[in-house]
Structure 1
Amino acid sequence: MSQETFKKIGDSAKQMYGPRAILICGFTPFEQETVMNALDSIELADVPVIVATVADAETRLGEMLSKPDQTGLGADSDTARAVVMSGITANELDNIISVYRSTGLPRPLWATLTPVSENWTLATLLEELKKERNAMESK
């Protein structure tokens, strides 16, 4: 990822960029329910959760994160496992990551929507996140 798109997230109650939503990718239907229950447990039931499907690979992130709550729920997907958050606070982000870890599900790629990434396709974002993870793990 370029320096223009990578930015440290501070500890804040200020809402981050974009519509309030969470996009999950690469989860089985059972795992999707696990994620939904985990989010409900930290009082984020008001945040729409969208599940990416195979057909969404070329859809722009801004469009994906504007879909109605539970769009795609129950669909299998063989994309990379990822969680993309938009319009949440840094405090909520910390809570989401913490509750996710408690589920025992495999580690996903994590991202927040930015003015640059909102115009990327889902496939482009996932490819960039994989490159970033590989670069960080090889250090």
Structure 2
Amino acid sequence: MTHPDWIHVQGLRLWAHVGVLELERAQGQWFELEFWLAGDLAEAARSDRLAASFDYALAITALQCQARQVCCLTIEHYSELVLDCLETLYGLIPLRLDLAKCQAPVPGFGGRVAVRRQRRWREAGLPC
């Protein structure tokens, strides 16, 4: 089944205690999350009913709460927790996320490191 529509949330900044270094887990650091929720949004577009769409405010609030409690080693594991949270809210829909560590503690490196994860995205025929 193909879902041509999705909700796309960008720029969600989250403070979490994630990192291989003990200092990263102890002090915490900023992450930036971008995620997509795929589904048929035609009914919401026609009816203007929030119940026919994905209430993204629920996800933002839940992910902010989750971030305050997270303590793990890898961004990969953190991304798994984010996907689990989104599934709890919206069910088994196609999901995609980009989760970036805003300042990786690598000497001489000022960029960002991110993971892209997805569930049921390709199976739904959505673009990579």
TM-score bin (small chain): 0.3 to 0.5
The structure showing larger relative contact order (alpha-carbon pairs under 8 Å, at least 6 residues apart) is: 1
Q: Which protein shows a greater Rg?
A: 2
Question: Could you say which structure has the higher strand fraction?
Answer: 2
Q: TM-score, normalised by structure 2?
A: 0.33
